[in-house]
Chains A and B, each alone.
Chain A
Amino acid sequence: DQQVKQNSPSLSVQEGRISILNCDYTNSMFDYFLWYKKYPAEGPTFLISISSIKDKNEDGRFTVFLNKSAKHLSLHIVPSQPGDSAVYFCAASGTGGFKTIFGAGTRLFVKA
């Protein structure tokens, strides 16, 4: 049972435009959500997170939106840059946060 779902395996965006990566979750006990970025043959690196008490968190070009009623979150990257091309993983955890469940990932291609 996939508790965290990223239904788009890939996304292609033109440089300078907005990239929107989506994520859905099923477990209502999740209260902390994260996005990680991963390059080939490397470990994921943390990008941005959001607590369930918020509906938006912004860090530079990256903004994460959380819609608890829809159990949906999204990552917006604007403007997109070629260096943003990577696989993006959505992740979620419950109270305590020591067990994090990851989605399947979305591969983002930013074309110059």
Chain B
Amino acid sequence: SQTIHQWPATLVQPVGSPLSLECTVEGTSNPNLYWYRQAAGRGLQLLFYSIGIGQISSEVPQNLSASRPQDRQFILSSKKLLLSDSGFYLCAWSPTVERNTEAFFGQGTRLTVV
């Protein structure tokens, strides 16, 4: 069966520090991968998605970047965090780009920038 791992679960970082959140998927190949953010009192905002290694699409201009160095690895990064980067970050995968399907989410990372 497929599983998705996301870490760390919580993170407190000072303003201006770098960020690296990692997500890996097991039990499937060539998944579509996503990073979402849930800000306080708001819905899930799609930040990045990837349909293959090295292929990253950014949905909103921001202080973050994403990379997909391996087929089942998705990394969210920042060189210098801002206070507004605080939120709940979720990695997700879906089986294919060819048909409508649900996404499967990781447990999330609570990021607090202080």
Complex Cα spacing A4 to B108, Å:
22
Residues of A with C-beta under 8 A to B53? none
Residues of B with C-beta under 8 A to A51? 100
Residue of B nearest to A95 (CB): B100
Residues of A with C-beta under 8 A to B59? 99
Complex Cα spacing A102 to B93, Å:
15
What interface size band does chain A fall in?
20 to 34
What interface size band does chain B fall in?
20 to 34
Residues of B with C-beta under 8 A to A96? 97-100
Residues of A with C-beta under 8 A to B106? 43
Q: Whole-angstrom distance from the CB of B97 to the nearest CB of chain A?
A: 4
Complex Cα spacing A102 to B43, Å:
6
Asked whether A100 lies within 8 Å of B103 as measured between CB atoms, the reply is yes
Encode B70-114 as 1/0 by CB contact (under 8 A) with A: 000000000000000000001010100111111111111010000
Complex Cα spacing A102 to B47, Å:
12
Q: A102-B36, A103-B43, A104-B43 are in contact. Are A97 and B101 (CB under 8 A)?
A: yes
Encode B1-18 as 1/0 by CB contact (under 8 A) with A: 000001001000000000
Q: A98-B32, A98-B51 are in contact. Are A43 and B102 (CB under 8 A)?
A: no
Closest 6 pairs (CB-CB, A-B): A43-B105, A97-B100, A32-B100, A104-B43, A102-B44, A46-B102
8 sample A-B contacts, Cβ–Cβ < 8 Å, listed by A number: A41-B9, A43-B106, A43-B107, A45-B105, A93-B100, A96-B97, A99-B59, A102-B45
Chain A residues close to B by CB (< 8 Å) = 4, 6, 9, 31-32, 34, 36, 41-46, 49, 51, 89, 91, 93, 96-105
